[in-house]
């Protein structure tokens, strides 16, 4: 079905272009974009790799610090109440404001892009995982108390596995926005060290050179990278949950 929908969209696209006789500057035809993508494939591939590595590093950092942060937040209500507003503020401050500051601190390039991605990936992971860690059933906690469990045993054997589906939900959200983080990072903090920059940087370059089909091609490359992220997370989700979690259930038929 998605394939059929895709074909319909492509046909509509071409029909609109024909009907209104739109210039390539306004709306290039899919074929022109494909041509541009093939022509620029080396550049696009290398800039996709650059953006992807920034996004992936930021994403992994978000996951690692997200787990650590949520464990601290789950440790006590006091921590949670005192820290949460600041994490929220961090999330609500637009990246356009953070980015120049980060460039001042870290200089343009991979480190700044990574940190920008990290900043937007961190919140969904920390918020979801914390929820998972603290929403353990009272009786389960009593069960562990009856077994004279240590605090570490309670966290490792009860709270962390219980929080796993919540963490993966956070990871899924983070995965879908990691590429946005990468591109935003490129736009604000990208540079062209070694000839090409990240996809966001190339978008700026193509725009300046009025290479509009190439600009679209860069956009689609970013989409593809985004899909890659989401499918990795979905795969991980299935791998970790399919045996026991109700969200992944075999058909009753």
Partner 1 sequence: MVRIASLHKRYGKGAVILEDLNLEVSREEFVTLIGPSGCGKSTLLKLIASLSPVTAGTLTVAGQSPQAARKSMAFIFQEATLLPWRTVTRNIELPLEMLHVDPGERAETCARMRKLVGLDHVPDHYPRQLSGGMKMRVSIARALSLSPEILLLDEPFGALDEMTRDRLNEQLLQIRAQQKFTAFFVTHSVAEAVFLSSRIIVLAANPGRIHRDMTVPLPYPRSAATRESLEFQRCVSDVSRVLREINPDHP
Least CB distance from residue 166 to partner 1, whole Å?
13
Give the span between the Cα atoms of 69 and 65, in whole angstroms. Answer: 6
Phi, psi of 150 (to 5 degrees): -80, 165
Q: Does 151 bind partner 1 (CB under 8 A)?
A: no
Q: Does 161 bind partner 1 (CB under 8 A)?
A: yes
Under DSSP, the state recorded for 245 is -
Q: Which residues of 20-54 are buried (b: 16+ CB within 10 A; e: fewer)?
A: eeeeeeeebbbebbeebbeebeebbebbbebbbeb
Q: Given the rule CB under 8 A, which of 54-62, 114-122, 137-145, 216-224 is the region that contacts partner 1?
A: 137-145
Q: Which residue of 8, 22, 142, 207 would you call a contact of partner 1, by CB under 8 A? A: 142
Q: Which residue of 143, 151, 193, 209 would you call a contact of partner 1, by CB under 8 A? A: 143
Q: Quick one: 14 or 164, whose CB is closer to partner 1?
A: 164
Q: Does 156 bind partner 1 (CB under 8 A)?
A: no
- C-beta of residue 73 within 8 angstroms of C-beta of residue 83: yes
Q: Quick one: 50 or 158, whose CB is closer to partner 1?
A: 158
Q: Which residue of 1, 3, 139, 208 would you call a contact of partner 1, by CB under 8 A? A: 139
Give the span between the Cα atoms of 102 and 90, in whole angstroms. Answer: 14
Least CB distance from residue 237 to partner 1, whole Å?
14
Q: Does 29 bind partner 1 (CB under 8 A)?
A: no
Site for partner 1 in 85-114 (CB under 8 A): none
Q: Give the torsion sign (CA, 224, 228, 231, 233).
A: negative
Q: Does 20 bind partner 1 (CB under 8 A)?
A: no
Q: Given the rule CB under 8 A, which of 15-23, 27-35, 47-55, 240-248 is the region that contacts partner 1?
A: 240-248
Q: Which residue of 76, 82, 153, 231 would you call a contact of partner 1, by CB under 8 A? A: 153
Q: Does 243 bind partner 1 (CB under 8 A)?
A: yes
- C-beta of residue 118 within 8 angstroms of C-beta of residue 62: yes
The enclosing H or E element of 109 equals none
- C-beta of residue 122 within 8 angstroms of C-beta of residue 66: yes
* Distant-in-sequence, close-in-space partners of 103: CB < 8 Å, separation ≥ 6: 112, 188, 189
Q: Does 246 bind partner 1 (CB under 8 A)?
A: yes
Q: Give the torsion sign (CA, 96, 99, 101, 107).
A: negative
- Contact residues toward partner 1 (CB under 8 A) are 137, 139-140, 142-143, 145-149, 153, 157-158, 161, 164, 243-246, 249
């Amino acid at each position: 079905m998605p394939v059929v929908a895709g074909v319909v969209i492509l046909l509509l696209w071409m029909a609109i272009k024909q009907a209104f006789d739109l210039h390539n500057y306004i709306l290039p035809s899919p074929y022109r974009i494909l041509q541009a993508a093939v022509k620029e494939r080396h550049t696009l591939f290398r800039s996709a790799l650059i953006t992807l590595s920034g996004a992936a590093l930021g994403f992994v950092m978000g996951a690692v610090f997200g787990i650590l942060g949520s464990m601290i937040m789950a440790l006590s209500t006091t921590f949670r109440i005192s820290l949460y507003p600041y994490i929220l503020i961090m999330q609500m401050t637009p990246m356009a404001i953070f980015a120049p500051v980060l460039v001042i601190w870290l200089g343009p390039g991979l480190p700044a892009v990574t940190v920008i991605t990290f900043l937007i990936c961190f919140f969904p992971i920390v918020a979801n995982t914390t929820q998972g860690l603290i929403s353990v059933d009272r009786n389960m906690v009593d069960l562990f108390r009856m077994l004279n469990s240590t605090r570490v045993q309670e966290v490792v054997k009860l709270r962390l596995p219980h929080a796993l589906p919540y963490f993966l939900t956070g990871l899924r959200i983070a995965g879908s926005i990691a590429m946005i983080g990468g591109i935003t990072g490129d736009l604000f903090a990208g540079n062209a060290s070694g000839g090409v920059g990240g996809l966001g940087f190339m978008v700026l370059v193509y725009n300046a050179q009025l290479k509009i089909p190439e600009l679209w091609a860069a956009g689609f490359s970013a989409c593809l990278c985004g899909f890659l992220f989401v499918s990795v997370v979905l795969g991980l989700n299935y791998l970790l949950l399919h045996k026991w979690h109700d969200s992944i259930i075999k058909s009753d038929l």
